[in-house]
Amino acid sequence: MDYFHRQIQLWGEETQNLLATKKIAIIGCGGLGCSNAIALGSSGVGEIYLVDFDIVSLHNIHRQIAFTLDDEEKPKSEVVAKLLKSRYDKTKVEFFVEGVDEFSKRDIELDLIIDCTDNLPARAKIDNFAKKIGINWVYGSVEEFYGQACLFEKAKFEEVFSVKEKAPEGIAAPMVMHIASLQANLALKYLTEQDVKKDYLYYLRFEDELITQKFKLPS
């Protein structure tokens, strides 16, 4: 347990062993997905399933911290899986070069889904998938200098957001990591069975200071 020395100081060996029994899917291996995968894979989650149909493009690399220039044209999920295994080899990591539609048809037992996609329709599908199999999921989105995160339990995504296609705007790389960190912390609190608010939307924006707000979602 030397690898997790500082983490065990935080919550003890029993909680660390509990985390090792948990199974999660990270859907989307771009900016949010890279940071979430590194944070959660290096925390000792037992099984991680990485899902993304896309390949690495040059314009991804500045904010998608799992990738280097040598990874151009490679499947994102495969590259992230290789990185996670090189950082901690006792977590089971599998990757799928596909989208949420295909992955949701697989018979894989999960404790939590982390949404790291970049569009509203995909998130609506994740919400429907999670509710169908009876688990919670962590939503995250980033644009410009603001972002949102939420641990969804009973709230319905399509009743909170207008689900439509939307062209992405510019993104500040540090904000991606900021929201991914919030998602990963929500996930760790939930997976280790600590107190964490569900169905609260956290909204953060950085102007001349960091502004944070939270809203209870209807359920």
* Domains of the chain by start residue, with CATH: 2-216 (3.40.50.720)
- Percent of the chain residues past pLDDT 70, beyond the cut: 98
pLDDT average, residue stretch 121-133: 97
Position 185 scores a pLDDT of: 98
pLDDT average, residue stretch 169-179: 92
pLDDT average, residue stretch 137-155: 97
pLDDT average, residue stretch 124-148: 97
Radius of gyration (Cα) for the chain, nearest Å? 16
Residue 168: band (very low, low, confident or very high) from pLDDT cuts 50, 70, 90: low
Position 103 scores a pLDDT of: 98
- What b-and-e string marks burial along 32-64, b requiring 16 or more CB atoms within 10 Å of the CB? bbbbbbbbbbbbbbbbbbbbbbebbeeebbebb
Position 165 scores a pLDDT of: 73
- The conformation of residue 98, written as its DSSP 8-state character, comes to S
Position 61 scores a pLDDT of: 96
Residue 191 has pLDDT above 90, yes or no: yes
Residue with tokens 């207008």: 162
Q: Give the whole-angstrom CA distance, residue 178 versus residue 76.
A: 21
